[in-house]
């Protein structure tokens, strides 16, 4: 077989930006991302399918998708049809007839022969082939009035999208270029719609920092299990894949409440080549009912970025729920932050690590939250508290913290890190670069005091602070004021007065020469 060529992810990104230009006047980015990602994902499946078919028939990679389609059509109509179909079905768990491939549909669009019904049939064909594909294209409504006021306009819009996305070379990508471009694209959409889209995407480097913390010491573990109960697009789970030394053995478990976002996560898993047997994704309300509840319900890594301070039912029945029963109280109805934290902590394996993004209020708010915090600290659950810079996230401009939790600790000390000044300033959004992530992670890993940045606080110290975890109580990051030399300040003022008097005298002479009766 010939070598696979590398393709710069920027090529794909430029195609997606061109596609967005077709839709941006018709609908919000939060809606049109579904069309771009859905059609892109179909092209990804179709192109890989055709490349594999060509390889089976010719034992090499095709020069173009047109060559792949021509060979596939010939093979499909030939004597070895049954064997070819069986091998492709085993590999991909679906079958595409030549007329339902993206390449053929894009060619029809270029020749003004495009029919939406054919594209919809292709979607349906994939969705009905295997349970893992069920509902994947639900958000791609090819008959939506948002695409145009009549059938012709709607069809033309979809045809333009198909032609534009067809410029992306998905069959010759090397490494994880496609997956990286996909996450970059999600970030771009999240930027354009800020709070609306921020719910499903955690910026790459803050997410990578949390993943490095959750994965620390477990990178080489075979069969590592990772759980995100608010998985959004699945980016945090996939950061763990990137950090694992044995990614093919990692087991991913995730839950998401929004159907379209749930489908994004499923697509993201495919785009990152995660085997179906290694992913267990569920759609549902994380707090309403516990999940997972089967035998495999604890995990080596728990990583979460839940919606901040969102309301929840806080029904008294939850006091007997095993996730919350050990704390005697429930998180307040108006703020579910600790409900998410306790849910994740319940599903953490004894030898594992949990990293969760939460607003700073959870560190010091009182009432039931204070009681829960005290219980966690008494058990040694809280391992570290990291305060990040403001405006790092798409859905909020407030500074966010990472709370790190562990189980069965003998010590009850807590490492506090003030990383609020470690960031790269941006016009609309601040960011962490790779060096920032490494710096914060190194401080976390060393677990020692760092002047103005970190402090390892004993349990007694925390207890004396009434279990308040507000970072400034433990890390004094204020800059020392420069000493003022009063004698020098007075001397400077006297010189300034002398200079002013001299300048006034020169002006008075000038006024006299001009015959003006003005004096300063």
Three-class secondary structure assignment of 203-238: CHHHHHHHHHHHHCCCCCCCCCEEEECCCCCCHHHH
3-state secondary structure at position 414 = strand
Q: At which residue do the structure tokens 């710096």 appear?
A: 439
Write down the CATH number for the domain with range 9-190.
Answer: 1.20.1260.30
CA dihedral 502, 504, 505, 509 (to 10 degrees): 140
Neighbours of 168 (CB within 10 A): 23
Q: Is 355 exposed, middle or buried (0-12, 13-18, 19+ CB in 10 A)?
A: buried
Task: Give the single-character DSSP code of 424.
Answer: B
Model confidence pLDDT, tens digit, residues 99-154: 999 999 999 999 999 999 999 999 999 999 998 899 999 999 999 999 999 999 99
In this structure, the strands spanning 414-418 and 454-457 are: antiparallel
For residues 109 and 162, what is the distance between their CA atoms, to the nearest angstrom?
7
Neighbours of 4 (CB within 10 A): 13
For residues 442 and 3, what is the distance between their CA atoms, to the nearest angstrom?
39
Contacts of 182 (CB under 8 A, 6+ apart): 37, 40, 267, 268, 271
Contacts of 514 (CB under 8 A, 6+ apart): none
Write down the CATH number for the domain with range 194-228+286-302+310-473.
Answer: 3.40.50.150
For residues 303 and 464, what is the distance between their CA atoms, to the nearest angstrom?
30
Start and end residues for every CATH 3.40.50.150 domain found in the chain: 194-228+286-302+310-473
List residues bridging with 254 in a β-sheet: 228, 281
List residues bridging with 80 in a β-sheet: none
Sign of CA dihedral 342, 344, 347, 351: negative
pLDDT at residue 315 in the model: 96
Helix (H) or strand (E) holding 355: strand 348-359
Per-residue burial over 171-206, b if 16 or more Cβ lie within 10 Å, else e, is bbbeebbbbbbbbbbbbbbbbbbeebbbbbbbbbbb
Start and end residues for every CATH 1.20.1260.30 domain found in the chain: 9-190
State residue 456 phi and psi, 5-degree precision.
Answer: -95, 105
Helix (H) or strand (E) holding 189: helix 177-193
Low pLDDT (below 70) residues in the chain: 1-10, 171-200, 478-482
Neighbours of 147 (CB within 10 A): 24
Bond before 292 cis per omega within 30 degrees:
yes
Contacts of 320 (CB under 8 A, 6+ apart): none
Q: At which residue do the structure tokens 């998180």 appear?
A: 331
In this structure, the strands spanning 400-405 and 348-359 are: antiparallel
3-state secondary structure at position 36 = helix
Contacts of 434 (CB under 8 A, 6+ apart): 205
State residue 65 phi and psi, 5-degree precision.
Answer: -70, -25
Residue pair 331/314 in contact (Cβ under 8 Å)? The answer is yes
pLDDT at residue 175 in the model: 47
Q: At which residue do the structure tokens 């004894």 appear?
A: 350
pLDDT at residue 460 in the model: 97
pLDDT at residue 429 in the model: 85
The two tokens of residue 297 are: 């319900």
Q: How far is CA 67 from CA 53, 142, 166, 198, 472, in A?
A: 11, 28, 15, 41, 64
Contacts of 313 (CB under 8 A, 6+ apart): 287, 288, 333
Q: Give the strand order in the sheet containing 414-418.
A: 279-283, 251-256, 225-228, 299-304, 348-359, 400-405, 382-387, 414-418, 454-457
For residues 267 and 276, what is the distance between their CA atoms, to the nearest angstrom?
11
For residues 133 and 125, what is the distance between their CA atoms, to the nearest angstrom?
10
Neighbours of 27 (CB within 10 A): 15
pLDDT at residue 7 in the model: 46
pLDDT at residue 192 in the model: 59
């Amino acid at each position: 077989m010939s070598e696979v060529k590398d393709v710069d992810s920027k090529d794909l990104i430029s195609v997606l930006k061109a596609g967005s230009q077709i839709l941006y006047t018709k609908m919000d980015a939060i809606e049109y991302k579904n069309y771009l990602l859905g059609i892109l994902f179909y092209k990804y499946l179709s192109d890989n399918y055709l490349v594999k078919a060509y390889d089976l028939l010719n034992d090499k990679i095709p020069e173009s998708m047109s060559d792949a389609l021509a060979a596939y059509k010939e093979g499909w109509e030939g004597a070895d049809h049954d064997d070819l179909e069986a091998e492709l079905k085993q590999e991909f768990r679906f079958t595409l007839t030549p007329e339902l491939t993206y390449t053929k549909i894009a060619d029809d669009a270029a020749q003004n022969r495009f029919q939406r019904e054919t594209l919809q049939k292709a979607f349906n064909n994939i969705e009905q082939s295997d349970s893992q594909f069920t509902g994947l294209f639900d958000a791609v409504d090819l008959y939506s009035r948002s695409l145009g006021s009549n059938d012709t306009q709607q069809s033309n819009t979809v045809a333009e999208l198909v032609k534009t996305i067809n410029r992306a070379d998905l069959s010759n990508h090397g490494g994880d270029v496609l997956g990286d471009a996909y996450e970059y694209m999600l970030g771009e959409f999240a930027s354009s719609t800020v709070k609306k889209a921020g719910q499903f995407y955690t910026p790459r480097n803050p997410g990578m920092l949390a993943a490095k913390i959750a994965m620390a010491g477990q990178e080489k573990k075979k069969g590592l299990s990772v759980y995100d109960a608010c998985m959004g697009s699945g980016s945090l789970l996939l950061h763990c894949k990137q950090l694992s030394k044995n990614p093919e053995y990692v087991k991913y478990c995730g839950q998401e409440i929004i159907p379209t976002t749930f489908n994004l996560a499923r697509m993201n898993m495919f785009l990152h080549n995660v085997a179906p047997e290694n992913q267990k994704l569920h759609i549902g309300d994380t707090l309403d009912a516990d999940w997972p509840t089967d035998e495999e319900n604890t995990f080596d890594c728990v990583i979460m970025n839940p919606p901040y301070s969102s309301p929840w039912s806080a029904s008294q029945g939850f006091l007997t729920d095993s996730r919350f029963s050990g704390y005697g109280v429930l998180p307040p109805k108006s703020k579910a932050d600790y409900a998410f934290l306790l849910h994740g902590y319940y599903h953490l394996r004894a030898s594992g690590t949990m990293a969760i993004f939460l607003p700073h209020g959870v560190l010091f708010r009182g009432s039931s939250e204070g009681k829960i915090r005290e219980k966690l600290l008494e058990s040694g659950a809280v391992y570290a508290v990291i305060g990040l810079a403001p405006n790092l996230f798409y859905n909020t401009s407030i500074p966010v913290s990472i709370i790190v939790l562990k189980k069965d600790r003998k010590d009850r000390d807590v490492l506090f890190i003030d990383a609020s000044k470690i960031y790269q300033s941006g016009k609309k959004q601040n960011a962490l670069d790779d060096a920032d992530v490494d710096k914060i992670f190194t401080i976390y890993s060393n677990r020692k005091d760092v002047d103005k940045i970190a402090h390892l606080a004993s349990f007694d110290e925390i207890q004396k602070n009434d279990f308040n975890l507000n970072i400034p109580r433990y890390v004094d990051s204020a800059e020392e004021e420069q000493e003022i030399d009063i004698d020098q300040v007075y001397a400077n003022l006297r010189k300034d007065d002398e200079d002013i008097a001299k300048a006034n005298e020169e002006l008075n002479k000038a006024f006299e020469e001009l015959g003006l009766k003005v004096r300063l």
